[in-house]
Amino acid sequence: MRLADSQEIMDYISKLRKQSKDIEKAVVELAIYSDGSISIRDAWEMNFEERNLAIKVINERNLRKAGKDPAQYL
């Protein structure tokens, strides 16, 4: 078993920090773009697949509200 050097560890920690920030951003965006139908708390409790589905549905709804066909964009 190979031990990681300090640079590999620091790179891995940086990657995890970025992933954490990306998740935080996605949760906040989901709560905002859902126009209040999904709370921050509910968004945090969703798993990855549930968040992606909610985002897809919200995007489709927004396209329909704009008079566009979601099938052409998604």
pTM above 0.95, yes or no: no
pLDDT band for position 1 (50/70/90)?
low
DSSP SS3 for 72: helix
Per-residue pLDDT reduced to its tens digit, 20-57: 999 999 999 999 999 889 999 999 999 999 999 999 99
For the chain, the structural domain boundaries read: 22-69
Query: Token pair for residue 30?
Result: 């989901």
Query: Token pair for residue 19?
Result: 């992933």
- Residues 74, 70, 33, 50: what is their CA dihedral angle, to the nearest 10 degrees? -60
- Residues 23, 25, 30, 33: what is their CA dihedral angle, to the nearest 10 degrees? -160
